[in-house]
Amino acid sequence: MWLFIVSDAITFSAVIFAYGYLRLAATAWPRPFETPSIGNATVMTFVLLSSSVAMVLAVRASSLGKVSGAVGWLVATALGGVIFDVLHIHEWLGLIGEGVRPFHNPWGTPMFGAAFFTMTGLHMLHVTIGVVYLLIIALGFGRRKFSAVDVEVSGLYWHFVDLVWMFIFPLVYLLSAKTA
Amino acid sequence: MEHAETAGNKIVFSVWFGLLGLTVLEVILAYRQLPLETMLSILMVLSVIKAALIIAYFMHLRYEQASLFVTLIPALVFILIMMTVIFADSSRLAHMRSLVQ
């Protein structure tokens, strides 16, 4: 899992560097995120960080052999992921409603949409896969098919997804906050 | 995946509050009228701190053998530094665009 995480980190880095390239080369990069958007993204960050703590507790419960505790915390972690996804899709629909498309938007550099949807979309895909992964692990650990190590490895993946958001949130949202 | 110890409750919750606090700090900073480069630098330093906290305590790399850290992190950092070569071309493009306008 560590090797997968490092390679996935490079994938995300490439996407983030591509965004940096586009933004640095652009003359009028949009800063469309108003205070409600920033608030929404901040809440999403809190939810993801808190779900990571639930994951830590799930890993600990599983290593102590507490099956129901581990399953409970795993489901709580997955629930955090679902809340994150729902808030994020709501955000996406808002932007699409304002007329943002991958190669067109009402404010400035056309590539804004492509960069935004690629970065946040790739991350949202990871969260969604993570939710499915955690629920499978919860089910399997509850039936004693999976071991505590399996729970721990799924935790590594989940914390990594959390970690990536710690870069996407400031780069995409905070640096494009509408401040004036 | 064997390890002798992991972070206790006190550490886990301190790290959690630390991460939430750093996030609040970042949001407050976003509303300061700072030059983009300054803001980017501050936000990236804070984000690297947050990432390090997550890796060290939540992913418990701190409690693993040192060889795992040596295998993973320096190579990743090196690749990230190598990727920054593209920004020279990016600023060239920005310069050319400003000449056209």
Which has the closest alpha carbon to A24: A119, A111, A87?
Answer: A111
Q: How far apart are CA B58 and CA A53, in angstroms?
A: 8
Question: Residue A153 domain-assigned?
Answer: yes
Note the ipTM here.
0.88
Q: What is the pLDDT of residue B98?
A: 85
Q: What is the pLDDT of residue B2?
A: 47
Q: Does B7 touch chain A (CB under 8 A)?
A: yes
List the single residue in B24, B72, B79 with the smallest CB-CB distance to A2: B72
Question: Residue A164 domain-assigned?
Answer: yes
Cβ atoms within 10 Å of A96's Cβ, excluding its own: 12
Please check the confidence at residue B62 and state whether its pLDDT lies above 80. yes
Please check the confidence at residue B65 and state whether its pLDDT lies above 50. yes
pLDDT digits (tens, 9 = 90+) for A58-101: 999 999 999 999 999 999 999 999 999 999 999 999 999 998 99
Most confident of A76-85, B23-32, B62-71: A76-85
For B99, the closest chain A residue by CA position comes to A27
pLDDT classification of B99: cutoffs 50, 70, 90: confident
- Mean pLDDT within A42-49: 96
pTM score above 0.90: yes
Query: Which distant-in-sequence residues (6+ apart) come within 8 Å of B52 by Cβ?
Result: none
Q: Does B6 touch chain A (CB under 8 A)?
A: yes
CATH code of the domain covering residue A42: 1.20.120.80
Query: Which distant-in-sequence residues (6+ apart) come within 8 Å of A4 by Cβ?
Result: A157
Residues in chain A with CB shorter than 8 Å from the CB of B39 are: 174-175
List the single residue in A45, A56, A163 with the smallest CB-CB distance to B55: A163
Residues in chain B with CB shorter than 8 Å from the CB of A162 are: 54, 58
Q: Cβ–Cβ of B58/A162 closer than 8 Å?
A: yes
Residues in chain B with CB shorter than 8 Å from the CB of A53 are: 12-13, 16, 58
Q: What is the pLDDT of residue A180?
A: 63
- Min Cα distance B72 → chain A (Å) is 7
Question: Residue A97 domain-assigned?
Answer: yes
Question: Residue A9 domain-assigned?
Answer: no
Q: Which domain holds residue A167?
A: 36-176
Q: How far apart are CA B37 and CA A23, in angstroms?
A: 12
The b-or-e profile of A17-46 (16+ CB within 10 A means b, else e) is: bbbbbbbbbbeebbebbeeebbebbbebbb
Question: Residue A43 domain-assigned?
Answer: yes
Question: Residue A5 domain-assigned?
Answer: no
Q: Cβ–Cβ of A166/B47 closer than 8 Å?
A: yes
Please check the confidence at residue B1 and state whether its pLDDT lies above 60. no
Question: Residue A10 domain-assigned?
Answer: no
Q: Cβ–Cβ of A2/B90 closer than 8 Å?
A: no
Question: Residue A118 domain-assigned?
Answer: yes
pLDDT digits (tens, 9 = 90+) for B79-90: 999 999 999 999
- Mean pLDDT within B48-63: 93
Q: What is the pLDDT of residue A48?
A: 96
pLDDT digits (tens, 9 = 90+) for A110-165: 899 999 999 999 999 999 999 999 999 999 999 999 999 999 999 999 999 999 99
Please check the confidence at residue B70 and state whether its pLDDT lies above 90. yes
Please check the confidence at residue A28 and state whether its pLDDT lies above 90. no
| Diameter of chain B measured on Cα atoms | 62
